[in-house]
């Protein structure tokens, strides 16, 4: 996505090329999107019939961009007599100010043409093109073009207005302009995206942030959020840059839920601008020490939409936490099961983990007591519907063979779970990290039951079950000849023996026997898994290894942050620091914004982290990665009403200060310093 430019605010975002244009493409999803619908699929500017070329792009802020353009193709020597500036902002609606400048000493005439189209494609339809089943119409009036899509009760409209008279047609707008010497011409274009509800009302108007907002209002809101976060002072410029960029991206990725009208964090742009159970929970865990007030809306939303019935189409089961929530046409007409969809086996134990971790940081006992029924239901799911084979492990197999997800762990692409030789196991599957999450959830659930629900018998039972699970797991998943845990068990209980990054999640969960943790650390930082830029999702000697395969060899920043946290938990501070160091070094090549994933090539081979072509950027749990790495390096851990601070910084990082860390203790400061002075040549 490197060659694309995006702006976003809440539920609305725009993706275009480096000229500011939107045109239909199967290669990448350009367009103006809101609530999973594309409201502009064509927005293409020409001057006297020529496409424009970008001289410079100002994209410093998430919600507005400026393009400085000239007509024609770039040449070695460019002497343009005319230039164009496209200044755009997004705030519920989309606005563009189009300015044409005459740099000559004589009056000039131009024809500016804006081709406009709206296919109203559902986000799923962009990946899998199909014939629309509704009807699109258009109306033209003075200074306005209205594009309308209807399919039974599904009704969406795109309304484009211009401040300057022009020739308006259903396919666009044409402006014939005359500009004096060294003068300019400007028009302002406004694009409203209207989402109609079942009663014919614009549902966006009912949301607190649903209408149009000025750039100043967006900036104020984002700045207020960032100002509430702890202040970082450090000698390491990549850390400082990544921290600031992460806070900016997390502020920009917040969106409004139609269901509750609360602000949530979307998973990532462009494909995942919605609530994802797994992504939202992991991001919340990363963000918790910095902006704990962002967490309750996510917990409450997930609890409110918890599964309560058996629904094969949606993979829904009582107690199960959702995977993904969509608002588009295919979900509305049940052509996709995402209204919501429950196809993940990890979101449910992770929900319990997040609730406990949130209380440990904030002391919010009220929320824990309020959500006792939902938390008990989630824990019950682990031992009932989650244990498909009755073996005491957490398994997954979709109930929806047509449109359900095959893999329902975090590596949810079709080929992500394999044997060492590359073969794929059958279903159901029990991946190793799911067992770790279940173990952790039971222990945390026991704490909640004993301290807040007044049920010590239930707490004792959960602790016994967790202890039994740990014993069985270390017996059944451990591969003694290879000295690591199997990626999964297949349906016959045989180990799926690939070496993968999942073993790092086991350290985070605490299910690993102390005697085996050292070998896992060696594997994670060894040459098969560690690329020099981070831990690969799959070791480079495995049958399905591909350095640019989505879950079979790429490096995922989020994955690495959890692995670093796991290494820290078992006392491997230097190894955790190596991962932190590698991630921050990689962030320099992405201007501080770690992408969803990047290629798993050896660092010595490429000298820089290679882009993964379709990675989401920004993505929430990648934006949260520098925050969690900072927690790991400073050794931050709540203990009662106190915050333990036990820093261990990588060599050469110098001084790191984090001021005003919020929690049940009020606000405290943390200071760490590496053993050697900062060395700018080391990649920091």
pLDDT per residue over 182-197, tens digit each? 999 999 999 999 999 8
Position 93 in a domain: yes
Predicted local confidence at residue 678, as pLDDT: 42
Give me the mean pLDDT over the 114-127 stretch. 91
Q: What is the pLDDT of residue 211?
A: 59
| pLDDT value at 61 more than 80 | yes
Which CATH number fits the domain that encloses residue 40? 2.70.98.40
Q: 639 or 210: which carries more pLDDT confidence? A: 639
Query: Within a domain: residue 220?
Result: no
What pLDDT is stored for residue 271 in this prediction? 83
User: pTM of the predicted model, to two decimals?
Assistant: 0.94
Q: Are residues 186 and 249 in the same domain?
A: no
Same domain flag for 154 and 302:
no
Taking alpha carbons only, the member of 287, 230, 237 closest to residue 655 is 237
Q: What mean pLDDT comes out for the span 272-291?
A: 96
Domain housing 137:
5-214
In contact, 8 and 273? CB cutoff 8 Å: yes
Q: Determine the average pLDDT of the residues in 221-244.
A: 95
The CA-atom distances, in angstroms, between 356 and each of 138, 363, 385, 445, 539 are 52, 10, 23, 7, 33
Mark out the alpha helices in 193-328 (DSSP H runs): 215-228, 237-252, 277-287, 295-304
pLDDT band at 73 (very low <50, low <70, confident <90, very high): confident
Co-location of 192 and 335 in the same domain: no
191 with 239, same domain: the answer is no
Residue 258 scores a pLDDT above 90:
no
Domain boundary among 163, 186, 214: 214
Residue 2 has pLDDT above 70, yes or no: no
The verdict on 170 and 233 lying in the same domain is no
How does pLDDT run across 476-519, given as a tens digit for each residue? 999 999 999 999 999 999 999 999 999 999 999 999 999 999 99
What confidence score (pLDDT) does residue 681 get? Answer: 34
pLDDT in tens, 372-405: 999 999 999 999 999 999 999 999 999 999 999 9
Using a 10 angstrom Cβ sphere, with 0-12 exposed, 13-18 middle and 19 or more buried, the burial of residue 627 is buried
Q: 300 vs 206, 291, 373, 620, CA distance in Å? A: 20, 16, 12, 19
267/261 Cα distance (integer angstroms) = 17
Q: Kindly list the strands in the beta sheet with 42-47, ordered across the sheet, starting from the edge strand earlier in the chain.
A: 42-47, 108-117, 172-179, 167-169
Contacts of 401 (CB under 8 A, 6+ apart): none
Confidence band (pLDDT; 50, 70, 90) for 212?
low
Mean pLDDT calculated for residue range 70-83: 74
Helix (H, G, I), strand (E, B) or coil at 196: strand
pLDDT for res 675: 78
Same domain, 164 and 287: no
Q: Is residue 221 part of a domain?
A: no
Q: Which residues fall within 8 angstroms of residue 224, CB to CB, at 6 or more apart?
A: none
Residue 437 is assigned to a structural domain of this protein:
yes
pLDDT of residue 127: 74
User: Can you tell me the mean pLDDT for 78-102?
Assistant: 91
Q: Is residue 665 situated within a structural domain?
A: yes
Q: Is residue 266 part of a domain?
A: yes
Are 184 and 295 in a shared domain? Answer: no
Domain CATH for 358: 1.50.10.10
Average of per-residue pLDDT across 131-146: 93
Whether the predicted pLDDT of 580 surpasses 70: yes
Q: Say if CB 453 and CB 520 are below 8 A apart.
A: no
- Overall number of domains in the chain: 2
Which of 214, 244, 271 is where one domain is finished?
Answer: 214
Contact present, 173 and 116 (Cβ < 8 Å): yes
Of 155, 182, 214, which closes a domain? 214
Given a cut of 80, whether residue 533 has pLDDT beyond it is yes
Q: Where on the phi/psi map is residue 448: left (φ > 0), alpha (ψ -120 to 50), or beta? A: alpha
pLDDT at 1 exceeding the cut of 90 = no
634's CB contacts (< 8 A; 6+ apart) are 645, 646, 647, 656, 658, 670, 672
Residue 259 shares a structural domain with residue 139: no
Does the residue 573 lie in any domain? Answer: yes
Provide the phi-psi class of 547: left if phi over 0, else alpha when psi is between -120 and 50, else beta.
Answer: alpha
- For residue 214, the tally of other CB atoms under 10 A from its CB is 13
pLDDT of the residue at 260: 65
Distance between CA atoms of residues 624 and 560, nearest Å: 11
Residue 171 sits in the same domain as residue 257? no
Query: Model confidence at 9, in pLDDT bands (50, 70, 90)?
Result: confident
For residues 12 and 24, give the distance between their C-alpha atoms in angstroms, rounded to a whole number: 19
Q: How far is CA 43 from CA 32, 52, 164, 179, 191, in A?
A: 9, 13, 17, 24, 11
pLDDT tens for 672-682 read 999 764 443 34
Q: Which of 374, 395, 379 lies closest to 306 in space, CA to CA?
A: 374
Q: What percent of the chain has pLDDT over 90?
A: 82
> If pLDDT is split at 50, 70 and 90, which confidence band does 607 have?
very high
Q: How far apart are CA 396 and CA 398, in angstroms?
A: 7
Q: Looking at residue 75, what is its pLDDT?
A: 62
Residue 219 included in any domain: no
423 and 567 in one domain? yes
Residues 210 and 233 in one domain: no
Tens of pLDDT along 306-330?
Answer: 999 999 999 999 999 999 999 899 9
pLDDT of residue 101: 97
Average confidence score pLDDT of the chain: 93
241 and 382 housed in the same domain: yes
């Amino acid at each position: 996505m490197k060659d694309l430019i995006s702006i976003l605010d809440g539920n609305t975002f725009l993706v275009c090329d480096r000229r500011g244009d939107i045109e239909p493409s199967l290669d990448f999803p350009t367009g103006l999107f809101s609530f999973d619908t594309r409201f502009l699929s064509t927005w293409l500017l020409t001057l006297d019939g020529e496409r424009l070329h970008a001289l410079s792009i100002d994209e410093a802020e998430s919600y507005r961009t400026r393009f400085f353009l000239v007509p024609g193709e770039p040449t070695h020597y460019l002497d343009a007599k005319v230039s164009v500036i496209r200044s755009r902002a997004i705030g519920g609606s989309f606005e563009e100010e189009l300015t044409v400048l005459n740099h000559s000493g004589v009056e000039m005439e131009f024809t500016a043409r804006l081709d406009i189209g709206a296919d109203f494609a559902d986000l799923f339809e962009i990946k899998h093109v199909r014939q629309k089943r509704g009807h699109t119409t258009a109306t033209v009036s003075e200074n306005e073009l209205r594009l309308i899509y209807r399919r039974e009760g599904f009704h969406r409209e795109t309304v484009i207005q211009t401040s300057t008279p022009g020739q308006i047609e259903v396919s666009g707008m044409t402006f014939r302009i005359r500009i004096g010497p060294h003068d300019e011409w400007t028009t302002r274009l406004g694009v409203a995206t209207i989402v109609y509800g079942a009663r014919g009302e614009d549902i966006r108007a009912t949301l607190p942030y649903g209408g149009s907002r000025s750039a100043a209002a967006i900036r104020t809101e984002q700045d207020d959020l960032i100002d509430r976060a702890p202040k970082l002072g450090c000698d390491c410029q990549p850390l400082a840059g990544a921290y600031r960029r992460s806070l900016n991206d997390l502020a920009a990725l917040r969106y409004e839920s139609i269901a509750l009208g609360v602000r949530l964090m979307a998973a990532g742009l462009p494909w995942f601008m919605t609530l994802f159970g797994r992504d939202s929970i992991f991001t919340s865990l990363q963000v918790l020490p910095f902006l704990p007030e962002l967490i309750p809306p996510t917990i409450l939303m997930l609890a409110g939409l918890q599964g309560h019935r058996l629904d094969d189409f949606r993979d829904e089961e009582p107690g199960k936490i959702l995977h993904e929530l969509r608002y588009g046409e295919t979900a509305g007409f049940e052509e996709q099961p995402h209204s919501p969809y429950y196809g993940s086996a990890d979101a449910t134990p992770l929900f319990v983990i997040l609730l406990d971790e949130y209380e440990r940081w904030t002391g919010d006992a009220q929320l824990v007591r309020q959500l006792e029924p939902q938390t008990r239901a989630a824990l019950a799911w682990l031992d009932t519907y989650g244990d498909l084979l009755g073996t005491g492990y957490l398994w997954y197999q979709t109930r929806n063979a047509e449109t359900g997800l095959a893999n329902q762990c975090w590596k949810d692409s079709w080929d992500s779970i394999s044997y060492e030789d590359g073969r794929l196991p059958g279903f159901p599957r029990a991946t190793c990290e799911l067992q770790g999450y279940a173990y952790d959830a039971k222990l945390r659930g026991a704490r909640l039951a004993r301290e807040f629900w007044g049920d010590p018998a239930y707490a004792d039972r959960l602790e016994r079950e967790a202890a039994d699970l740990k014993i069985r797991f270390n017996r059944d998943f451990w591969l003694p000849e290879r000295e690591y845990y199997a990626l999964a068990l297949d349906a016959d209980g045989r180990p799926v023996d690939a070496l993968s990054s999942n073993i790092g999640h086991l350290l985070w969960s605490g299910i690993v026997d102390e005697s085996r943790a050292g070998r896992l650390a060696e594997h994670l930082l060894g040459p098969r898994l560690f690329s020099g830029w981070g831990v690969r999702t799959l070791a480079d000697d495995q049958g399905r290894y591909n350095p640019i395969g989505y879950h079979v060899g790429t490096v995922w920043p989020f994955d690495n942050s959890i692995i670093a946290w796991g290494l820290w938990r078992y006392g491997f501070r230097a190894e955790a620091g190596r991962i932190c160091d590698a991630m921050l070094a990689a962030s320099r090549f992405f201007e501080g914004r770690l992408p969803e994933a990047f290629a798993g090539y050896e660092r010595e081979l490429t000298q820089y982290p290679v882009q993964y072509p379709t990675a989401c950027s920004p993505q929430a749990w990648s934006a949260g990665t520098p925050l969690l790495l900072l927690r790991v390096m400073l050794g931050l851990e709540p203990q009662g009403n106190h915050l333990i601070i036990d820093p261990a910084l990588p060599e050469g990082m110098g001084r790191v200060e984090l001021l005003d860390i919020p929690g049940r203790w009020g606000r405290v400061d943390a200071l760490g310093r590496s053993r050697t002075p900062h060395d700018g040549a080391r990649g920091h």
